[in-house]
Structure 1
Amino acid sequence: MIISLIVEDNALTRDSLKYIIYGIVGLMISFYLASYLIKKIGKDPRNILPVNFARRIRIPLLLFLLAILLWIGNISDFSNSEEYEYVARHVIIALLTISITWFLIVCLKVFKERMLRKYDVSKVDNLKARKVYTQFTILENIIIFILVILAIGITLMSFESIRSVGVSLLTSAGIAGIIVGLAAQKAIATLLAGIQIAITQPIRLQDAVIVEGEWGWIEEITLTYVVVKVWDKRRLVVPSTYFIENTFQNWTRKSADLMGTVFIYTDYDVSFDAIREEQTRLLEGTPLWDGKVNVLQVTDATEKSVEIRILLSAKDSPTSWDLRVYIREKIIDFIRINYPHSLPKTRVVLPQQDQNPAETTPPPSV
Structure 2
Amino acid sequence: MRDTVFDTLMPLGIALGAALLALLAVHIVHRVLLRAGRRSALATELAERAHRPTQWVVVLCAVYFSVRSAADEASWRHAFLHADQLIIIGAAAWLVAALLVVAEDAALARFRTDVPDNRNARRVHTQVVMIRRVTVAVVAVLAGAVMLMTFPQARIVGTSVLASAGFAGVIAGLAAQSVLRNMFAGLQLAFSDAVRLGDVVIVEQEWGRVQEITLSYVVVHVWDDRRLILPTSYFTEKPFENWTRSESALLGAVMFDVDWWLPVPEMREELRRALESTDLWDGRVSVLQVVEATGSAMQLRALVSAEDAPKLWDLRCFVREHLVTWLRDTHPAALPRVRAEMTSAMPLHATLTGQTLTTDGDSRVFSHSVDGRARAEAFTGPES
TM tier relative to shorter chain: 0.7 to 0.9
Instruction: Assess if the C-alpha contact under 8 Å between 1:288 and 1:320 holds in 2.
Output: yes
Residues 317-336 of structure 1, C-alpha deviations (whole Å, 9 max, x = no match): 11111111111111111101
Determine the structure 2 residue equivalent to 1:147: 139
Compared CA separation, residues 15 and 341, structure 1 to 2 (3 A): same
In structure 2, the partner of 1:214 is: 206
Residues 1:330 and 2:330 are matched in the alignment: no
**TM-score under structure 1 normalisation?**
0.87
Distance 1:11 1:157, change over 3 A: farther
Q: Does 1:67 align with 2:60?
A: yes
Q: Structure 1: which 4+ aligned runs deviate by more than 4 Å?
A: 9-12, 45-48
Question: What letter is aligned with 1:57?
Answer: A
Distance 1:274 1:111, change over 3 A: same
| Higher deviation after alignment, 270-279 or 330-339 | 270-279
1:100 maps to 2:78: no
* Shift, 1:258, TM fit: 1.0
- Structure whose CA Rg is larger: 1
The residue identity in structure 2 corresponding to 1:68 is C
> Do 2:67 and 2:77's aligned partners in 1 also have CA atoms closer than 8 Å?
yes
Identical-residue share of aligned pairs (%): 34
1:126: Cα distance to partner? 1.1
Deviation at 1:206, TM superposition (A): 0.7
Once the two structures are TM-superposed, the CA of residue 185 in structure 1 deviates from its matched residue by 1.1
- Unpaired segments ≥5 residues, structure 1: 1-8, 353-366
Match of 1:275 in 2: 267
Structure 1 distance, partners of 2:290, 2:343, is 32
Q: Deviations over 1:48-75 (max 9, x none)?
A: 7332433322331222123213322343
SS in 1 for 2:339: coil
| Conserved? CA contact 2:200–2:210, under 8 Å | yes
Aligned pairs for 1:1-366 within 5 A: 12-14=4-6, 16-44=8-36, 45-47=38-40, 49-82=42-75, 84-349=76-341
- Taking only aligned residues, the RMSD between alpha carbons, in angstroms, comes to 2.2
State which drifts further: 304-313 or 60-69: 60-69
Q: What TM-score do you get using the length of structure 2 for normalisation?
A: 0.83
Q: After superposition, give the CA deviation of every residue in 1:224-269 in whole Å (9 maximum; x if it has no partner).
A: 1100001110111111111011111111111111111111111111
Q: Is the contact between residue 197 and residue 211 of structure 2 (CA under 8 Å) also seen in structure 1?
A: yes
Q: Which residue of 2 aligns with 1:361?
A: none
Question: Residues 272 and 17 of structure 1: is their aligned pair in 2 closer, same or farther, counting only changes over 3 Å?
Answer: same
- Runs of 5+ unmatched residues, structure 2: 345-384
Confirm or deny: 8 A CA contact 1:39 1:51 kept in the other structure.
Answer: no
Do the aligned residues in 2 keep the contact of 1:11 with 1:80 (CA within 8 Å)? no
Is the 1:63–1:99 contact (alpha carbons within 8 Å) kept by the matching residues of 2? yes
